[in-house]
Chain A
């Protein structure tokens, strides 16, 4: 997602919707078609990215399908079907709500939800560190590729990768000291102030909230 553009659903609303939808679906023992109502709306909002989202959903299904197969093997067809449906509804909801978001979007959403400053600060610092360490990870992979190194199942590969992990740990710890000094220097009082403008609630937020509630409490079209 472009850093300057706003997501169709405000991230803090998306967090709450994902939590309410997930917690309610997790408790269900019977599934209905109407439970997917919100997903159709979200899919329409993210229609340009549906292929990417479904590819990720398929990838995430590896463990779920593995467990479902073991259940099916033991003639627990209903349980296997229930688990597959429940998992996919919940995963699809999260993927559709947060596709295109990054760590910083989530950190800002946590701050908007008025959570304790210590938690939001930790989310901001973690997001920043993820951004920096990910950059180093890409650089390292590129360096190995340029040098013609292909990782194999041997001790040399493991030592090389372990050396990289060691470098990451040292750099991360050095960065934490620099960050701590910066906090002291700037008179950090336990609160982070962001420059991003507060995103006001949109009509999409209202529709998504309404559809989530309908999906969860209006049961139509029995599936299993």
Chain B
């Protein structure tokens, strides 16, 4: 999901950095002191999601949890994901500093879809099931699309890599959707108050 250092052209790096700086700056500026703890714990959760491996056939994939983070934080997810990706880049080399802007935009912007989907009020169990699946599936799908778009914009030679990258993410999107659906069902049973939209 992260684009590594040294892959992208300067124009894309600068564009991503400018976009993300504006969005993260706005989110930081409007972040109230009392919102810091919730943002921090969900940032930590996003950071550690990369270490939760889900088996998929002979291999395994890791979770992203962007949908859940976006659903619970809304626009504040930009700040949470910025902090998490910064720490991942520095401590593990996932992504990096120069690609931080692009990666933050690719991963944080789609979480807004999770936020808006979470605010819909489904009336039947089937609709709720589909919606909660989408909270995991759609943000990750959009992130994979943005990742592929970024690679494709990097030059004609990168189009094949972009197509393959999107295809590689298809099974991960379904798994993220299924895990998000069951995780939200679990929260609904154990602590439903946390799912009440203010």
Q: Is the CB of B93 within 8 A of A71?
A: no
B116 at the interface (CB under 8 A from A): no
Interface mask (A37-50 → B, CB under 8 Å = 1, otherwise 0)? 00000000000000
Name the B residues within 8 Å of A177 (CB-CB): 37
Interface of B, secondary structure class, is helix
Interface centre among B28, B31, B52, B56 (most CB of A within 10 A): B52
CB B178 to nearest CB in A, in angstroms, measures 5
Name the B residues within 8 Å of A95 (CB-CB): 93
Shortest beta-carbon contacts, A-B, top 8? A162-B182, A166-B186, A87-B6, A129-B44, A125-B40, A86-B6, A90-B5, A179-B37
A214 at the interface (CB under 8 A from B): no
Interchain residue pairs with CB less than 8 A apart (23): A23-B97, A57-B93, A64-B6, A67-B151, A70-B157, A71-B161, A91-B4, A91-B6, A103-B87, A106-B86, A118-B28, A118-B36, A125-B36, A126-B41, A151-B54, A151-B55, A170-B187, A170-B194, A173-B38, A173-B41, A179-B37, A179-B40, A183-B36
Name the A residues within 8 Å of B36 (CB-CB): 118, 121-122, 125, 183
Interface mask (B14-53 → A, CB under 8 Å = 1, otherwise 0)? 0000000000000010010110111111111101100110
CB B58 to nearest CB in A, in angstroms, measures 9
Interface mask (B142-158 → A, CB under 8 Å = 1, otherwise 0)? 00000000010001011
Name the B residues within 8 Å of A94 (CB-CB): 5, 89-90, 93, 96-97
Considering only residues 65-120 of chain B, those with a C-beta below 8 Å from chain A are: 65, 68, 72, 79, 83-84, 86-87, 89-94, 96-98
Interface mask (A108-151 → B, CB under 8 Å = 1, otherwise 0)? 00000000101101110111111011100100000000000001
- Counting chain B residues whose Cβ lies within 8 A of the other chain, the interface size class is 35 or more
Q: Is the CB of B158 within 8 A of A67?
A: yes
A188 at the interface (CB under 8 A from B): yes
B135 at the interface (CB under 8 A from A): no
Name the B residues within 8 Å of A133 (CB-CB): 41, 44-45, 48
Name the A residues within 8 Å of B48 (CB-CB): 130, 133-134, 137
Query: A127, A130, A190: which contacts B33 (Cβ < 8 A)?
Result: A190
Name the A residues within 8 Å of B7 (CB-CB): 64, 67, 83, 87
A19 at the interface (CB under 8 A from B): yes
Expressed in whole angstroms, the Cα–Cα distance for A153 and B54 within the complex equals: 8
Expressed in whole angstroms, the Cα–Cα distance for A188 and B37 within the complex equals: 12
Q: Is the CB of A153 within 8 A of B57?
A: yes
Name the B residues within 8 Å of A116 (CB-CB): 28
Interface centre among A70, A83, A130, A165 (most CB of B within 10 A): A165
Query: A25, A26, A56, A180: which contacts B93 (Cβ < 8 A)?
Result: A56
A176 at the interface (CB under 8 A from B): yes
B40 nearest CB neighbor, chain A only? A125
Q: Is the CB of B28 within 8 A of A159?
A: no
B184 at the interface (CB under 8 A from A): yes
Chain A residues bordering chain B, tally (CB within 8 A): 78
Name the A residues within 8 Å of B45 (CB-CB): 129, 133, 168-169, 172
Q: Is the CB of A173 within 8 A of B179?
A: no
Considering only residues 46-71 of chain A, those with a C-beta below 8 Å from chain B are: 56-57, 60, 63-64, 66-67, 70-71
Expressed in whole angstroms, the Cα–Cα distance for A57 and B4 within the complex equals: 12
Name the B residues within 8 Å of A137 (CB-CB): 48, 51-52
